[in-house]
Amino acid sequence: MLFTITESYAQKNLNAYKYIIVPKKFDFLKKENQYRLNELAQFLFNKYGFTALLEGEEFPQDLKLNRCLALQSNVFDDNNLFKTKLIVKLKNCNAELVYTSNFGTSREKDYKTAYNLAMREAFKSFSSLKYKYEPATLEKAQESQGSNQSKEIQNLKKELATLKASKAKVSPQLVTAKKAETKSSIQTLKPQTSNVLYAQSIPNGFQLVDSSPKVVFKIKTTSLKEVYIVESKNAILFKKGNLWVLERYEGGILEQKVLEIKF
């Protein structure tokens, strides 16, 4: 019964992802595609119903826009003197482990043969999953994550309201001076074009990922147009002209950083 429940959960979990990316080189090997194991992994993923892409090849347009559609695969060894053992692991765009296969083993002495047989046996774990991509599954998972973070979001909104109230109490002359200073400082800043962030929709906002892809920030919508709360950073993100500005207090000093964001 436990095995059946685990398999069912793994299937639903994997169904949320459209692609699997296979690296050019596995860490336990010295060369790219050594013993043609990376090509074999891509072939086996496709055999069991997945859409597997080799790292470095041209990605589909939807994957370019949303790297979280794909899982990153890797293979690890746990060899001993008498046996070759390989295991397959899949991680999502947040580097969270989503699935681990059973070990595949071989007692062959020739490395090429042993790795080939162990790889094929490890991949048999995927045969019973009956994978089928379901876009709604990922959306439900994101909604669940958003629900768990609702308390933190409310706290951030309160902080934003407090910040607005404190600004309202400042004298008109000081406000004018601050606006002029801020405008001047923003004009001198330039976005870091080498670190472009890509906005991916999540419940109540967006997550901003780099080209790795790695989630750098999560931002939540507010009642103000083009003003967002930055989770866990005690900061806000707003649009000034054509620039996106990250603003926060650091040691009592208002700091600003211009970001280049692709929505």
Run means of pLDDT, 10 residues per run, the chain, 263 residues: 39 84 95 96 96 94 92 94 94 93 95 96 92 73 52 66 63 50 49 70 86 86 89 88 87 86 85
Distance separating alpha carbons of residues 154 and 231, to the nearest angstrom: 10
CB 52 within 8 A of CB 39: no
- Give CA 177 to chain center in angstroms: 41
Q: pTM higher than 0.85 for the full model? A: no
Q: What is the pLDDT of residue 189?
A: 52
Sheet holding 253-259, edge to edge: 253-259, 243-250, 235-240, 227-230, 215-221, 205-209, 197-202, 261-262
